[in-house]
Chains A and B, each alone.
Chain A
């Protein structure tokens, strides 16, 4: 994996660029999507796992500005599967959304939670409040930045100095919102660096 990783990282000039969050997380693109709005991000994380494990193409994104209910994150899903999604959440004892909203216009379009900055020698992926940086010449993770949750120093100690293809997933090792966001950054960095 590391050769492909370095090959993919070698190209591109410095500067920020948005990451295609929906595609990155395996969700469908296009307008036929709906949003699940939850009261808190713990419910978002549980719903994402439950639906993903059931084979639904979901992605976690930021809420559109028009929606003021709920927390920092929403789950997007193919709108055609709304009934199935509701059944899965109900049957699995999963969290119940505050709202299910079809994406019908720009003001209801969810916000990308990823930002990518290419420093030339290094690539940094920001997912929400957490930033993860890799050395493009070696594939080694060099920095974790952001977040004041109590597991952040531990996760940083696990990641920094290890190659991206050998490091443990923060999603499995973390215990907090910051750990979850760091996991998203890790997966996005892996996606960008994997051979394809």
Chain B
């Protein structure tokens, strides 16, 4: 089973966990309604939609409220350290969490203490923490944007504050940043770099690029990067090779955008209902695939 760890933008939300369900255009976790505006809920909604297509059980979610100060993240880290060694998840995806190298290491060790080693996916704050702690190679997939890739590539930067290119994206520099990230031991086994052109890479360099279909309004929409990561996590959970899962996720997210016909005011919740058809179309394009 896929498990997803992240935060909600509600400082009052406690640590809670349970099955995530996307039904009738709404997300619930452990029976609680969770608004799907962006961030981890958007990732979860996309993963739910993808799991349904792939014939997988829906994801299990670990959530806590955090407004960016880290209180909820730290409480969630403590909960994970307690419970993970006794759980059995085949894929663990970490998302919007306060980067904290010490807590990162405790959580990683707890995941590594599980009976079966899960495949590990990280994005956003937890991916920063994985790099900051020097443990990036323990992961199967990172899903950075161009700025986050610049941080992974900067072997000297202890924090994004110190990185040239974190704020001012240099998409043309991505192949060189991929090379430097692997040379410095600061990349997961596979990278899905999200941008105007999506790149899938490993230690050997860029494996695939995905550049279509392009939907201009998606640039303005919040949560489209989160939905890619949710798709990728579900496809990794399906057992496909991680680079293939990453390529399919990038393609399916773009196809969902095309089907949704968004405008710049569209919300990610308008894209998620199109993920099943988009993923089926992406799978049909894949050589050797015989349906989901």
Q: Which residues of A contact B (CB under 8 A)?
A: 39-42, 62-63, 68, 70-73, 111, 113, 117, 119, 121-122, 124, 128-129, 131, 133, 135, 142-146, 148-157, 160, 174-177, 179, 181
Known: A160-B37, A177-B161, A177-B167. 20 other contacts (CB 8 A): A71-B161, A72-B163, A72-B166, A119-B264, A122-B265, A124-B220, A124-B264, A129-B166, A131-B220, A143-B267, A145-B220, A148-B125, A152-B38, A152-B68, A153-B7, A156-B222, A157-B37, A175-B68, A179-B68, A181-B167
Q: How far is the CB of A103 from chain B (nearest CB, A)?
A: 18
| Neighbour of A160 across the interface among B68, B148, B162, B222, CB < 8 A | B222
B residues contacting A by CB (< 8 A) are 7-11, 37-40, 66-70, 73, 96-99, 123-125, 127-128, 144-145, 147-148, 159-169, 216-217, 219-225, 263-267
Whether A148 and B68, one on each chain, are in contact in the complex, defined by CB atoms closer than 8 angstroms, is: no
Pick from B7, B68, B73, B162: contact of A71, CB under 8 Å: B162
Q: Find A148's partner among B67, B148, B159, B161 (CB 8 Å cutoff).
A: B148
Say yes or no: A157-B9 contact (C-beta < 8 A), given A62-B168, A145-B221, A150-B99.
Answer: yes
Q: Which residue of B lies closest to A179 (CB)?
A: B68
Question: Which residue of chain A has the shortest Cβ distance to B125 in the bound complex?
Answer: A150
Which chain A residue shows the least CB distance to B66?
Answer: A150
- Which residues of B sit under 8 angstroms from A160, Cβ to Cβ? 37, 222
User: Which residue of the partner chain B has the closest CB to A113?
Assistant: B168
Pair A71/B163 contact, Cβ less than 8 Å: yes
Q: Determine whether the beta carbon of B67 is less than 8 Å from that of A154.
A: yes
**Interface SS of chain B:** loop
Q: Which of A40, A63, A152, A154 has the most CB of B within 10 A?
A: A154
Select one of A62, A133, A153, A155 contacting B220, CB under 8 A. A133
> What residues of A have a CB within 8 angstroms of the CB of B165 in the complex?
72
CB distance from A116 to the nearest CB of B (A): 12
CA distance A104 to B225 in the complex (A): 40
Among A144, A148, A181: residue with most chain B CB under 10 A: A148
Q: Is the CB of B145 within 8 A of A153?
A: no
A70 adjacent to B164 (CB under 8 Å): yes
B125: A residues at CB distance < 8 A: 148-150
Q: From the candidates B98, B148, B161, name the one contacting A41 in the complex (CB within 8 A).
A: B161
Chain B residues, CB < 8 A from A176: 68
| Nearest-Cβ distance from residue A73 to partner chain B, whole angstroms | 7
Contacts of A121 in B (CB 8 A): 263-265
Q: Which of B123, B145, B219, B222 contacts A144 (CB 8 A)?
A: B222
Known: A71-B161, A71-B162, A149-B125. A143 touches B168 (CB 8 A): no
* A41–B167 touching, CB < 8 Å: yes
Identity of the chain B residue whose Cβ is nearest the Cβ of A146 in the assembled complex: B145
Contacts of B160 in A (CB 8 A): 149, 177
Q: Assuming the A-B contacts A72-B167, A148-B124, A160-B37, are A153 and B8 also in contact, with contact meaning beta carbons closer than 8 angstroms in the complex?
A: yes
> Quick check: A148 and B167 within 8 Å, CB to CB?
no
Chain A residues with Cβ under 8 A from B127's Cβ? 148
Q: How many Å lie between the Cα of A113 and that of B167 in the bound state? A: 9
CB distance from B219 to the nearest CB of A (A): 7
The answer to whether A71 and B128 touch across the interface, beta carbons within 8 angstroms, is no
In the complex, A62→B145 CA distance in Å?
Answer: 19
| CA distance in complex: A40, B123 (Å) | 23
| Contact partner, A150, options B96, B145, B164, B167, Cβ 8 Å | B96
Q: How many angstroms between the C-alpha atoms of A11 and B132 in the bound complex?
A: 46
Q: Is the CB of A150 within 8 A of B7?
A: yes
Q: What's the Cα separation between A119 and B215 when bound, in Å?
A: 12
